[in-house]
Amino acid sequence: MQFSSIKEEHAHQLKEFSDLPNNISAYINAYDSNLATDEYNDLRYSYRVLYVPKSANNKGQADKVIEFLPANSPEAELLNKEYVLIKEKEKPKFLPSKIVELMQSDGFLKFNQHSHTILWKSMDAKNPAHGLGTQIAKTWYWYESWLNEVKKHCQKNSQEYGKQI
């Protein structure tokens, strides 16, 4: 049992100990395989790593090199579980006009571009900290999370936007 934090170097050292008695190795494997999903995912017993792509300007500047491979690449099929596979998923994006169009098609006929602008300004929705959209070049695109906020707003104010409940 481990009752203190573990550093990455220690984890690598533990993998090198191949001279463990079979009964201890079997116990560890049985224990790991019998863990309930809730216990396995419990943050108190987890060591999670978040990789954020960041490139160095010149060779030799990085402390550690991690290569990201698309999950559907031939190289990824040859790898085992110790490697990190990246599945790219592009979030759906909506122009403001599409948000308005969707709300009007849901019956909120009086919800218009002006209503949308007032709403996002009142909620400071373009603040990157909220994660509700992104600017690409000079155009702002909204994520599905913003669309859900707009739906909630329209439902809450259904009489103002012309929808009868």
What is the reported pLDDT for 76? 65
**Residue 97: φ, ψ to 5°:** -60, -35
The domain tally of the chain equals 2
Reported as a single tens digit per residue, the pLDDT across 22-37 is 777 777 778 777 878 7
**Is the same domain home to 115 and 58?**
no
What is the reported pLDDT for 110? 95
**Is the same domain home to 119 and 58?**
no
- Is the pLDDT reported for residue 68 higher than 80? no
Range scoring the smallest mean pLDDT among 49-58, 62-71, 110-119: 49-58
**More confident: 100 or 35:** 100
Instruction: Give the residue from 57, 86, 115 where a domain finishes.
Output: 86
| pTM listed for this prediction | 0.49
In a domain, 1, yes or no: no
Q: Which residues touch 88 (CB under 8 Å, ≥6 apart)? A: 70
How much is the mean pLDDT over the chain?
A: 77
In a domain, 161, yes or no: no
Instruction: Give the residue from 86, 111, 135 where a domain finishes.
Output: 86
**Is the same domain home to 29 and 45?**
yes
- Is the pLDDT reported for residue 54 higher than 80? no
- State the pLDDT confidence band at 75, using cuts at 50, 70 and 90: low
Q: Which domain holds residue 147?
A: 93-156
